[in-house]
Amino acid sequence: IYFFNDNYYVKAKQGDTFRSLSDETGISYKRLAKFNERDYNDVLSQGDIIYLKKKKTKAPKEFKGRPHIVKSGESMYLISQLYGIRLESLYKLNKLSPDYQIRVGDMLWVR
């Protein structure tokens, strides 16, 4: 179990599901999925960050004034998980609509 942005998280292993993580953590699989803005039937990939409580609306203070530069293969969801913030908040912080498609090199504010 790891700690970041006032939240605990685990990294999914090969074969993990929200149900198996629920058994390990004692947190309802439906709550785990909700905290991570996913459907509880989603297939998890090895290395996925799974938060154990509701995420914050902003990244930690050390990221103030430091934008995230989008790299190849990143998505808005992945970036929200990296910083432990809600996906909706990431869109709001950057004044973007949910249908916006990010591009490599885009600058995104996380705080």
Rounded Cα distance between 107 and 1, Å, is 30
Rounded Cα distance between 100 and 48, Å, is 23
pTM: 0.94
Host H or E run for residue 35: helix 29-35
Q: What is the pLDDT of residues 42-91, one digit of tens each?
A: 999 999 999 999 999 999 999 999 999 999 999 999 999 999 999 999 99
Question: In the Cβ-directed half-sphere of 17, how many Cα atoms lie within 13 Å?
Answer: 9
Write down how long the chain is. 111
